[in-house]
Structure 1
């Protein structure tokens, strides 16, 4: 005889509901379905009203998708080392060279490798951004 998993008993399910001030698409659809199930059969919901509510649902879903896309775009740009260090283009940087002596140069471009920002200098050298000791405006 098969046994029932005790974790599936109704007594083990969460009974406390956490209220939220936001109405998501699942809640909106649930309200709409409840409204359809409990409508008066002698006076059903008007077609135009139903279409209007479905248009609101579609609009809500598109707005939520767009907000999520914008959030992902902003997060990806904040993470990108090129974006983080792009303001350094044209700036003079002082860094510790291979021989341990301080060297300087003007940043011509910013690139990345393995998630690290690399400053490409006008003299052709490439320096990791975390090796920079000082940043200054170019002399005019």
Structure 2
């Protein structure tokens, strides 16, 4: 990669910059790591974002699958973190939000008590696949 920086911008608490050879993320542990696609650099920052939360967090795709989840979500279990019957509604909520804004989603028990409150944020990582939802327990 040359010394000329063409584009520099922030994404999910990180910084991506581009020049002739590709994209680099300033927060990457390997300062020489270069991504050929912008979406790969964004994906790295999305994973990093989820890993930093002490509570359960993950990335929900349009198919209702968790593409990634952190250690806290692993400890409680993927289905306890995001029950299957709530995933499509959670994802649909992210579609209605402006990019980068958050909304809360509550999961209730059978008797109507709030079981878990989640923060949902819709982000665009790769235009080939559409929006994903970053979800974390509050």
TM-score, normalising length: structure 1: 0.18
Normalized per residue, the structure richer in helix is: 1
Does 1 or 2 have the higher relative contact order (CA < 8 Å, sep 6+)?
A: 2
Larger Rg: 1
